[in-house]
Structure 1
Amino acid sequence: MVPSQTSKPTVINVQYLRALAAIIVAFSHSAADVARLHGVQVDFPLPGPFGVEIFFVISGFIICHANLDRAGQGGKRVLRFLNGRFWRIVPFYWLCTTLYLAIAMLAAGTVNRDSTSIAHVVASYAFLPWPAPDGRIGPVYALGWSLNFEMFFYAFFAGAMFLRPRWALAALTLVFVSLAALHPYFPEPGALAFWSAPYILEFVIGMWLSVLSRRIDWRGPGWAFWPVALAILAIAAAFFQARHVPGSGEGVTPWSILFASLLVAAGVFLRPANDVAGIFGRVGDSSYSLYLLHMFVIRAGVIALGITGVYWPYPLTMLALVAASCIVSWYSFRYIETWFAEQARRRPKDGDPMAGATTSIA
């Protein structure tokens, strides 16, 4: 079984943030479906893409935390890193994409996309940004848009691992900052415009938080983590609402980058906090499953409630759907994700000890 990152004191709070990020995404999507079910306007104060931004900062932190010291040690280390990332990310995403396509063919009215193309499907499995028939850039299973960024980051990180750690960090920072600066000049829609979006700066911030966490010994009290994290989320929610950001979000902004980075910094520079009955640790472990599966559970739940004519108060409906998503995701993590991750861990015994670990949304 894949060991929980909560076993590592240096990242235990980051594990809780992974749970919070996945829950934000799930609640934001449940609001849209429940609104249609009840025929009312339902808003969740934090846009779903903001949860993904938290994941991106965490990804930069964890990947750097686990692998930067192995940079400059030869191609075998790079291959082990890529092998671990492949088994951790790809098969489960392919499984979810295939499930989505099967539902789209058998029950088209239950999914959001009207049509697709062979090229779009192939690009989705290959993590390549590709225009859908409606012109929007993104994979067939829309939630995979974030994984297109993740895989882009992993590819560049693997390339940088041929350099010594200091130079690898400098090269990654230079490339990603340069791409973000050039973003306005890339034609849209297109792969370069997609991959150069300022989201990539959050990976850089996460990497530098990892470096700073090793160089700065100070850690604040653990009891402060939850108040600080909730305060940052409350300020972010008030800001987004004041800016009239819709539930779908209006894309990455300097403010969303700041709030996501502050959350992860709080997790890194505060001592391990207490879990809430072990809930956040488990949701953090299964956050990849929660991210990819919650829409299946939410949509199925909404359809079932509509058929049966059961209409709970919409806040209760949202809570029940997200709770059901968390439960399904936990079992998915234990019996599906874990099996895939074990395939990486069975590779060379002296391989990357983090190869099967649950990092970021992955």
Structure 2
Amino acid sequence: MHSAVLPLHTLQALRAVAALLVLAAHASQIDGRFFEQPVSDGSWILGFAGVDLFFVISGFVMVYITTGKPRGDAPFIGRFVYARFTRIYPVYWVFTLLALAAYIAIPGSLTRDLSDLHLWQSFTLWPIDNALPVLHVGWTLTHEIYFYLAFAAFLCLPERWLPLLLAGWAGLVVAGSLLLDGLPAIGTLIVNPLTIEFILGACAGILIMSGERRLARAALVAAAVWLAAACWLVWPQGAEDFPSGWSRVAAFAVPGALIAYGVISLEMQGALKAPGWLVRLGDWSYALYLCHLLVLSGLVRIWVSALPDFGPLASLAFLLVSTTLSVVVAGLAFHWLEFPALKFTRRLGDRLFRGTQHTRRAPAAHEDPAVRDGPAGSQQG
């Protein structure tokens, strides 16, 4: 496989699109719950497909940052795991504490009592049976942590084995999901069909990093047709109608992998350039997915208690203001929380893993698309 430096501006743009899709889906849910005449409808729930795109992106990024890097090298694998965990946990812990504070401050207006929260599982991202973490979007990060640990195990073996390892992993997921039932939470996680989305992204990464990029335009055409057909077939009336399991993978992960392969390949060929503002929003995408539910939930409670409901205009105004505020808070969180945390953990990692060969990254953290992983979502997302 070739290990040349790969431009990833289009990948950051895809992250931005994914985050905005999930934001739209959650905003629609809150719109329908708190406003008598919501302007959004059930079709907005299709935005939860942004989670599937995030999982595909994560699979691609893992291949990108490890192609041509040492296999079977304990310090390198340790640095890999350290880098992945420090991308996820520190900022996630801050927003989880904020969510916990909200439960303590206004327990009666939220969906769960304090006694129903799974605190240690929420902070460690350990899988929970039939429940969500304190910060609801954390369920997707539980999948991410599992992906990273499994991929770290693959780094113990020769790189040429990676396609076979991914195929074996996919076979385990297929067999387990079809044959096993009544598993504990950790077992359910291991055989969850959503793992296939990560594997599909990794396969796209293998193709691109091997130099096979000739099918970019065909892949994008196929993705457009596939996605249009999938949306038409599953067109939801509400969150309960959003597909799950293998239906979800088929509907959204397959076109997501085709889109990732297509746009990155075109960028490498010099045929596509992502808009700068969308790339910047992609930088903020992790902060956006962590903060947006807190912003939406807090704002709507202030809104409905302080302002009269003036029909559809109230709903429309809330959607516009809450979306804008979510993006603004995400930008502030990135610059004042996530970016400093990334710099600190990177410097600490340089000291802890002195002498190890780093994973591929750009010099500046704010320009480094490989350093911000993670999908956005809710239980339906």
Instruction: Summarize deviations over 1:157-193 as a string: whole Å, max 9, x none.
Output: 1111111112244224312431232113131563212
1:202, distance to aligned residue in structure 2 (A): 0.9
- SS state at 1:330 partner: helix
- Could you say if the C-alpha distance between residues 24 and 235 of structure 1 is closer, same or farther in structure 2, counting changes exceeding 3 Å? farther
- Could you say if the C-alpha distance between residues 85 and 40 of structure 1 is closer, same or farther in structure 2, counting changes exceeding 3 Å? same
Q: How does 1:107-126 map to 2 (within 5 A)?
A: 107-116=106-115, 120-126=118-124
- RMSD, aligned CA: 2.9
- SS state at 2:197 partner: helix
- Could you say if the C-alpha distance between residues 332 and 229 of structure 1 is closer, same or farther in structure 2, counting changes exceeding 3 Å? farther
1:238 and 2:210 aligned: no
- Could you say if the C-alpha distance between residues 10 and 225 of structure 1 is closer, same or farther in structure 2, counting changes exceeding 3 Å? farther
1:13, distance to aligned residue in structure 2 (A): 1.5
1:49, distance to aligned residue in structure 2 (A): 3.4
Instruction: Summarize deviations over 1:198-237 as a string: whole Å, max 9, x none.
Output: 1000111111101101234545899x99999877765543
Q: Which residue of 1 aligns with 2:359?
A: 352
1:202 and 2:197 aligned: yes
Q: Structure 2 residue aligned with 1:14, among 11, 16, 34?
A: 11
CA contact (8 A) 1:17 1:267 kept: no
1:268 and 2:275 aligned: no
1:72, distance to aligned residue in structure 2 (A): 1.1
1:353, distance to aligned residue in structure 2 (A): 4.2
1:361 and 2:374 aligned: yes
CA contact (8 A) 1:87 1:344 kept: yes
CA contact (8 A) 1:123 1:129 kept: yes
Deviation larger for 206-215 or 9-18: 9-18
1:34 and 2:31 aligned: yes
Q: Which residue of 1 aligns with 2:333?
A: 332
Q: Which residue of 2 aligns with 1:95?
A: 94
- Could you say if the C-alpha distance between residues 270 and 248 of structure 1 is closer, same or farther in structure 2, counting changes exceeding 3 Å? farther
C-alpha separation in 2, matches of 1:170 and 1:335 = 42
What letter corresponds to residue 7 of structure 2 in structure 1?
T
CA contact (8 A) 2:200 2:253 kept: no
Q: Which residue of 1 aligns with 2:140?
A: 146
C-alpha separation in 1, matches of 2:172 and 2:216 = 37
Instruction: Summarize deviations over 1:304-361 as a string: whole Å, max 9, x none.
Output: 2212215534244223312211111011111111112112321226533439643442
Q: Which residue of 2 aligns with 1:5?
A: none
What letter corresponds to residue 358 of structure 1 in structure 2?
V
- Could you say if the C-alpha distance between residues 14 and 219 of structure 1 is closer, same or farther in structure 2, counting changes exceeding 3 Å? farther
Q: Which residue of 1 aligns with 2:149?
A: 155
What letter corresponds to residue 266 of structure 1 in structure 2?
G
C-alpha separation in 2, matches of 1:10 and 1:70 = 18
CA contact (8 A) 1:11 1:268 kept: yes
User: What fraction of aligned residue pairs are identical, expressed as a percent?
Assistant: 26
C-alpha separation in 2, matches of 1:238 and 1:71 = 45
Q: Which residue of 1 aligns with 2:344?
A: 343
CA contact (8 A) 1:205 1:261 kept: yes
C-alpha separation in 2, matches of 1:62 and 1:359 = 10
Instruction: Summarize deviations over 1:267-297 as a string: whole Å, max 9, x none.
Output: 2232263444x32111111111111100111
Q: Which residue of 2 aligns with 1:259?
A: 255
TM value normalised by structure 1: 0.85
C-alpha separation in 2, matches of 1:219 and 1:308 = 57
Q: Which residue of 2 aligns with 1:3?
A: none
- Could you say if the C-alpha distance between residues 225 and 187 of structure 1 is closer, same or farther in structure 2, counting changes exceeding 3 Å? closer
Unaligned runs of 5+ residues in structure 2 are: 376-381
- Could you say if the C-alpha distance between residues 194 and 324 of structure 1 is closer, same or farther in structure 2, counting changes exceeding 3 Å? same
C-alpha separation in 2, matches of 1:93 and 1:54 = 20
Q: Which residue of 1 aligns with 2:304?
A: 306
TM value normalised by structure 2: 0.81
What letter corresponds to residue 281 of structure 1 in structure 2?
V
Q: How does 1:52-91 map to 2 (within 5 A)?
A: 52-91=51-90
- Could you say if the C-alpha distance between residues 221 and 83 of structure 1 is closer, same or farther in structure 2, counting changes exceeding 3 Å? closer
